[in-house]
Amino acid sequence: SYELTQPLSVSVALGQTARITCGGNNIGSKNVHWYQQKPGQAPVLVIYRDSNRPSGIPERFSGSNSGNTATLTISRAQAGDEADYYCQVWDSSTAVFGGGTKLTVL
Partner 1 sequence: QVQLQESGPGLVKPSETLSLTCAVSGYSISSGYYWGWIRQPPGKGLEWIGSIYHSGSTYYNPSLKSRVTISVDTSKNQFSLKLSSVTAADTAVYYCARLCGYDSSGRWIDYWGQGTLVTVSS
Residue range at the interface with partner 1 (CB under 8 A); choices 13-21, 46-54, 57-65, 75-83: 46-54
44 phi and psi angles, rounded to 5 deg: -125, 135
69 to 98, contacts with partner 1 by CB under 8 A? Answer: 86, 88-90, 93-98
The reply on whether position 63 binds partner 1 by CB under 8 A is no
Q: Out of 19, 38, 49, 76, name the contact with partner 1 by CB under 8 A.
A: 49
Amino acid at 59: E
Q: Which of 88, 99, 104 is nearest to 34 (CA)?
A: 88
* DSSP state for residue 101 in the 8-state scheme: E
Cα radius of gyration (the chain): 13
Give the binding site for partner 1 (CB under 8 A).
1, 30-31, 33, 35, 41-45, 48-49, 54, 86, 88-90, 93-100
